[in-house]
Amino acid sequence: MKKNILKISFIVFATLLMVSCNDEFLERQPLDAIINETFWNTENDLKVYNNGLYNMAKDDINVTIMMGHHNGFDSQWAGYEYLDGYSDNTAPIEPRGLRFATVRAGIHQVPNDAQDFGWRGWNFLRAINVGMDNYAKAQVTDAVRNKYIGEARLFRGWFYADKVQKFGDVTWVDHELQIDSPELDSPRTPRADVMEKVLLDLNFACDNLPSAQKVEGDPGRFNKWVALAVKSRVCLFEGTWRKYHGVADANKWLTEAASAAKLLIETGPYKLYTSSDLAHAYNFTHRALDLSGNPEVIYWRKYATGVETNHFQSYHAGYVGGATKDAVEDYLCTDGLPISLSPLYKGDEVFENIFENRDPRLRQTILHPEDQPYYTYGNHPYNTYTYPRIRGQVGGRNSTTGYHIIKVYENVAASAAYNVSTSPAITLRLAEAMLNYAEAVAELGTLTQADLDMTVNKLRARVGMPSLMLNPQMDPRYASWGVSSNIVEIRRERRIELFMEGFRYDDLRRWKLGKKLEVKSYGMRWDAANQSRFDPDKKATIKTATLDGVPYLDVYQGTDYANPKFDEAKHYLWPIPINSISQNPALGQNPGWGN
């Protein structure tokens, strides 16, 4: 941390300015003479500076808050679609995805240096605080000034919330540090104190950012609704973490989450994307190549040819691995009951049967063999290969589990030449805020049928599923969780609706359900009939394990990830890198990770 914080402020400041187009300023003074005293004058100066913050925030590997698609070979692993690899949703096995498999298996170690998505991004925090120390100098109205302060404070609160969620206590810094600043050698600030400051930042952003739905230009700027969506996400995490990890003031944070989400839902200019085409109404948004005008998307990252592109569509089919058996079995039947209770469930003996009488979102998430012509999956003629295809088979696209993920798959983008795709990335959408609200009020014990009708049931109606009624029958598979059937079903809805959007691992941690990560990553039924049908040449390399007398693909069998473990004493938080502790021993290490 010290190494990053000690970057020379002039370099950070000049870098931010160089990405701008402040021609008037450039005519007035050469770049090598840029100093604070001559810059912070106009609204355009504040806008130019904050443009640099938006650009820095696109570095998802180091600043893991907005999460989009990286370009080039990083498109194989750096993006929100891959984060479910930490969880029981997907089973990556490609080398670039093994960081996810390592954490999911509980075999990650204390790193020497800060790892991807981890103890990084402190230069971003420094840039925010440089601005915070200087915004007051501009000759603008308080309303104008507070708009840009609101952007910076939203960035800061969001950044710190992410760090707290991963590391617990984190040193709070809200001003530009100097080489002799005491914070460089101080212990980490207690989690509770940091989160109080995060809440102040988020509230300031909610109160001072404009409420206009769209702000033209690049980058797309935050508005009030973005701030409310982020606040609902952050406060829900904190409230449920406190509730299930035995920390005080859980209800305060749950109330803040519910209030923010409700204000966004009821007064914001967004609504769910719906279509009469129920067979594609759910995944249309995730496959769209342009999200302009989509009423559900609150904030997204636009990619443009010659400006910023990616290659994730081509990579994702193989590098995500595939959906797990556990995830597929969580989808309800069309009578609104889980497969453990519904007479409509036909089992998995015949592959296509898993889609019969099931929530239509399953077929819009996992490839049904009959839908291959629609997706032209794998950029191959649909009649050339039989799907599903398993790792080891030659030709087409294969998966580790047999459950090919098509929720985000768009063949035009997947077929594009290397690194020229413009597939957009969704940062915030209304569906998440709806689920945040439903969960928060359920955890508070105030959930009503009207709350469900305003949130979960709108998501279900989009795909023609029956409504969730209060106090549904308990799914016996989740009776041991010790929560109400209302909460069980809202959690299920969250898993299904937000599948492959990067939430599942954090959800399990905040619910204190880390032990669920000890369930092995199984794939489809791989009995003699399915093997003969889908792999007659026996080329598949994924091994099998027997469950209740039936063989299923066992993705990690024979690897270091075969027997996942979750240590309740340490795995809810990540370790602090050794080099960071060496530079500042007062940081200390998280419980269970050694000294």
DSSP letters, 10-45, are HHHHHHHHHTS--HHHHHHS-GGG--HHHHTTSHHH
What DSSP designation does 51 have?
A: H
**Cβ–Cβ < 8 Å for 198, 160:** yes
CA angle 28, 29, 32 (to 5 degrees): 165
**Cβ–Cβ < 8 Å for 416, 312:** no
Question: pTM of the entire structure?
Answer: 0.93
Residues contacting 264, CB < 8 A, separation 6+: 225, 228, 229, 232, 270, 430, 433
The reported pLDDT for the residue numbered 16 is 44
Helix (H) or strand (E) holding 157: helix 142-167
The reported pLDDT for the residue numbered 379 is 65
Euclidean distance between CA atoms 91 and 100, whole angstroms: 9
Euclidean distance between CA atoms 261 and 111, whole angstroms: 37
The reported pLDDT for the residue numbered 34 is 53
Helix intervals (H) in 400-471: 411-414, 430-444, 449-454, 456-462
The reported pLDDT for the residue numbered 215 is 54
Q: For the segment 457-510, what is each residue's pLDDT rounded down to a tens digit?
A: 999 999 999 999 999 999 999 999 999 999 999 999 999 999 999 999 999 999
Helix intervals (H) in 445-573: 449-454, 456-462, 485-497, 504-510, 528-534
Euclidean distance between CA atoms 77 and 96, whole angstroms: 6
Give the strand pairing for 544-547 and 550-554.
Answer: antiparallel
Mean pLDDT per segment of 10 residues, for the chain of length 595 residues? Answer: 39 42 37 66 95 95 94 89 96 91 96 93 97 96 97 98 98 93 94 98 98 64 97 98 98 98 97 95 95 94 92 86 98 98 98 98 97 78 83 92 94 87 95 98 98 98 98 97 98 98 98 97 98 97 97 97 97 97 97 88
